[in-house]
Amino acid sequence: MRNGIAKRQEALDQADLVAGNGLMSRRALLTAGGRMTVAAAAGGMSALAVSRSAAAEALSVPPSMTVPGAPMSGYGQPSPYEEAVQRGVLKPYGDLAPGTGVSMTPLQHLAGTITPNGLHFERHHNGVPSIDPETHKLLVHGLVKQNLIFTVNDLLRYPMTSRTCFLECSGNSFFNSFPKPMQMPCGMIHGLISGTEWTGIPLATLLDEAGVDPKGKWILAEGADSAGMSRSVPLDKVLDDCLLALYQNGERLRPEQGYPMRLLVPGWEGNMNVKWLHRIKVTEGPTETKDETSKYTDLQPDGIARQFTFPMGVKSVITHPSAGLAMQGPGFYEVSGLAWSGHGTIAKVEVSADGGNSWAEAALQEPVMSMMLVRFRLPWRWDGSLSRLMSRAVDDQGNVQPSHEAWAKQYATGPAGNLYHCNAVQTWEITAEGEIANVYV
C-alpha cells in the first residue's frame, strides 16, 4: 500500500519535470494571472512531501500576544531582526576619496521587484551633497528661445506623471568582466540595479516652456554635486520619455538618489540619470564630458571603443538560490530572479539546472512592464548533487542575453579592460555540501 502511494507520487513528480536535474513545470507555481492551479497545487504539495521532517512540537502562547506592543512612530524602520540586510559598500580609492564609489543592493535578501528606498544602490563621483530645497534651482538654457530658472516649489506645482522602471549602473556586474569569477554575494556582483516608481515632470514640458531651437539635438544634464556630474542625452530620448523625478516610491527622493531632483532616462545607462540635477543645456551635439568619453565607453579588443551605448542590454540573474545564501538540504526550492531589458519588455526567461544542457521556461510575475524589472520563478527539486543554475532572458525586440563567453569576447580584458554593459548569463554552482559559487560557463 505504502509502496503504491510512493510509486504514484513518483509518477506525478516525473510528469512535472520539464528540464534536466529537477526543474519542474512553471504551472506548478503560477498561471499567467498569478494564481495557483489545482493540479499544480497538488504537484507542489507532493514535492514538499518529499522533504517533510518529523512532527512539530506542541505550541505555546507567543510572548508577543501577552504584552502591549510598541507605540506609533513618525517614520517606520525595518525590523531589528533584518539589521543584516545592508547595502555593500565599495570605495575604490579608500579614504582618499570616501565619497567616490558604489554601494550595492543585497538582491539575495529581497523579493518582488520594487527596491526599498534605503537599499537603492548608490554610485557617486564625489559624495552625496547636502542640498537645501529652498535654495536649489533648475536652469534650462542653451539653444532655447528663453533661458528659464525654476525653484523646487515652482516645479512641485507642475502636472506630474509616474514611471515604474529599472535603473541600472552601466558598470553593474563589473566583477564578472574579471578573468576569473569572484566569490561574493549575488548583490555584490549584480546589485547596481533597482526597480522604482519615480514620479515627476516630463522634461518635455519644461523644454517646451523654454522653447527649443530646431538646431538643438542633445541636452547636457549637470548635477549640483562636487563632481559636477554631467552627461549628454539625445533630445529625441529626452522628449520621448525622460522625467525630472522628484519622488521615489511615493516619497521625495533620498539624498543618495539626487534630492531634491534627478534626471530619469528609462532603460538607459544609470550614469545618465544625473542626480541633484540643476542644469539642462540644449546643445547641437554631445558635449563629450569626461563621463561619456574616458568613462562609460566600452573598449573592444581591437583598441576601438564603443561610445554612446545607451540602452542597458537584456539581462537576468537568479537571486534565489544565489551566492550569499546557503542551501538547506535537498528537496524543493523555488528558483527565482530578476530580468530586465533597456530595449523593451521581457518576453521570456529560461532556466537551466544542468549548466545549460537543458532549459525550461520560467513563469513571469505580472505585471510585466517595459524597461522594468520582472520577477521570474520556477519550481525545482534539488537532488543534492552538484548543480549549475542559470537563467537566460529574451526581450520583445528579439534580443537574447549572451553567454559569458560570447559577452566577454566582444571586449578588452585586463585591469583597464571593459567594465561596462556586462549582461552575460550568470551561473551559480551548487555543491553537494550546499555551498553556492559564481562560475563562468
Contacting positions for other proteins (CB under 8 A): 93-94, 96-97, 100, 125-126, 139-141, 146-150, 154-155, 157-159, 205-206, 208-210, 220, 222, 226-228, 230, 234, 236, 278-279, 281, 283, 285-290, 293-294, 297, 299, 301-310, 412-417
Least spacing, CB of residue 196 vs other proteins, in Å? 25
Nearer to other proteins (CB atom), residue 40 or residue 155: 155
Nearer to other proteins (CB atom), residue 87 or residue 281: 281
Question: Are the CB atoms for 344 and 63 separated by under 8 Å?
Answer: no
Least spacing, CB of residue 241 vs other proteins, in Å? 15
Residue 356 has what DSSP assignment?
T
Nearer to other proteins (CB atom), residue 230 or residue 358: 230
Q: Which residues of 303-313 are buried (b: 16+ CB within 10 A; e: fewer)?
A: eeeeeebbbbb
Residue 273 sits at the vertex; the CA angle it makes with 269 and 277, to the nearest 5 degrees, is 160
Nearer to other proteins (CB atom), residue 55 or residue 96: 96
Instruction: Residue count of the chain, please give it.
Output: 441
Nearer to other proteins (CB atom), residue 9 or residue 230: 230
Q: Which residues of 181-201 are buried (b: 16+ CB within 10 A; e: fewer)?
A: beeebbbbbbbbbbbbebbbb
Nearer to other proteins (CB atom), residue 9 or residue 151: 151
Least spacing, CB of residue 348 vs other proteins, in Å? 23
Nearer to other proteins (CB atom), residue 220 or residue 373: 220
Reference 336, options 404, 391, 394, 386; nearest CA is 391
Alpha helix locations (H) across 330-418?
404-408
Nearer to other proteins (CB atom), residue 24 or residue 140: 140
CA–CA dist 258, 229 (Å, integer): 11
The beta-strand segments (E) located in 117-261 are 122-124, 137-142, 148-151, 161-168, 193-202, 218-223, 230-234, 243-248, 251-252
Least spacing, CB of residue 183 vs other proteins, in Å? 24
CA–CA dist 137, 134 (Å, integer): 8
Contacts of residue 341, Cβ cutoff 8 Å, sequence gap at least 6: 267, 312, 313, 314, 315, 371, 393, 395, 397, 399
Question: Are the CB atoms for 41 and 30 separated by under 8 Å?
Answer: no
Least spacing, CB of residue 65 vs other proteins, in Å? 53
Question: Are the CB atoms for 400 and 293 separated by under 8 Å?
Answer: no
CA–CA dist 263, 283 (Å, integer): 17
Least spacing, CB of residue 87 vs other proteins, in Å? 23
Least spacing, CB of residue 417 vs other proteins, in Å? 6
Least spacing, CB of residue 142 vs other proteins, in Å? 9
Nearer to other proteins (CB atom), residue 398 or residue 414: 414
Least spacing, CB of residue 128 vs other proteins, in Å? 15
